[in-house]
Amino acid sequence: MKSDTILKAAQSVRSSKFTVVFTGAGISVESGIPPFRGENGLWSKYDPRYLDLEFFHTHPAESWKVLKQIFFDFMADAKPNPAHFAIARLEQSGYVKEVITQNIDNLHQKAGSKNVHEFHGSTRTLVCVDCGKTVPSADIDLEHLPPHCNSCKGLLKPDFVFFSEMIPQRVSDLSFAAAEKSDVMLLIGTTGEVMPASFLPYTAKEKNKATIIEINPDESLYTPKITDIFLKGKAGEILPELAEKILQK
């Protein structure tokens, strides 16, 4: 990575009024959580039908067994990496206003970020498919699957978005409002293949001519289209360096 490219990115953030961070599975790879796609992606190990809503409803016990393994046993132990901490530092010092994440792993909050929009929900809560009540995942015994609602005995579902499920209105509105306001957007570890989350960077570019800074070891769908500054590399290595340059007196 050429240091003048990082410096240029740092200057953009320093002179911006409203920097928004948008993250995908790539930011958590160095925390030991694989992305869905690619050679070592989760889909090379697990069948994606376990995130299909209809399959979940018709095979709740079978689905829950796999969902528990991937999202509750494994993700629960993951720790934030230097990329998550760098973003939290930038938020605390006022350079980052909002974080929009497609991840459900809670690692931005664990690192100290406060203003986080979880576009696809999170593993922190479960939701009853019958009465809509949400409960903290930690309060539910996942040794007996599938888990049931203690109010109405309905089936509990992880409170994250399955395939073909709508994005909850509130988080969608807040995320698109942030994108429209942003004059700099940092895209970190996302392919741009998952709709409608993938529209957020285009919104920032079209509505506000935002400067798009991308951090990824590989090019994404955004790179040739809207990326202004491409910082090629791992989030856990580039972000601390970028934060250092932004925070330099």
Helix/strand/coil for 215: strand
Total interface residues for ligand NAD by CB under 6 A: 29
Residue 61 has a CB neighbour count (10 Å cut-off) of 10
In the complex, least distance from residue 92 CB atom to ligand NAD, rounded to whole angstroms:
22
Choose one: 86-94, 99-107, 132-140, 170-178; the region binding ligand NAD (CB under 6 A): 99-107
Chain positions 105 to 134 lying near Zn ion, rule: CB under 5 A, are 128, 130-131, 133
List Cα–Cα distances, 63 to 6, 29, 56, 89, 129, in angstroms.
44, 24, 6, 38, 15
Q: Of all helices (H) and strands (E), which one includes residue 127? A: strand 121-128
Are 122 and 160 in contact, with CB atoms under 8 Å apart? Answer: yes
Q: List residues bridging with 184 in a β-sheet.
A: 19, 211
Give the one residue of 16, 28, 63, 203 binding ligand NAD; rule: CB under 6 A.
Answer: 28
In the complex, least distance from residue 62 CB atom to ligand NAD, rounded to whole angstroms:
21
Residue whose Cβ sits closest to ligand NAD? 26
Helix axis angle for 3-14 and 235-247, nearest 10°, is 60
Give the one residue of 109, 175, 191, 203 binding ligand NAD; rule: CB under 6 A.
Answer: 191
Say which of 57, 59, 120, 148 is annotated catalytic: 120
Nearer to ligand NAD, 19 or 103 (CB): 103
Cis-peptide into 60, omega within 30 deg: no
Pick one of ligand NAD, Zn ion, none as the site partner of residue 156 (Cβ within 5 to 8 A by kind): none
**Is residue 175 part of the contact set for ligand NAD (CB under 6 A)?**
no
Alpha-carbon distance of 133 to 154, in angstroms, equals: 10
Among candidate residues 171, 183, 186, the one with its CA nearest the CA of residue 207? 183
| 84 counts as catalytic | no
State the residues that interact with Zn ion by CB under 5 A.
Answer: 128, 130-131, 133, 149, 151-152, 154
Applying CB under 6 A, which residues contact ligand NAD?
Answer: 24-30, 33, 35-37, 42, 102-105, 120, 189-191, 193-194, 215-218, 220, 234-235
> Where in the sequence numbering do the catalytic residues fall?
120
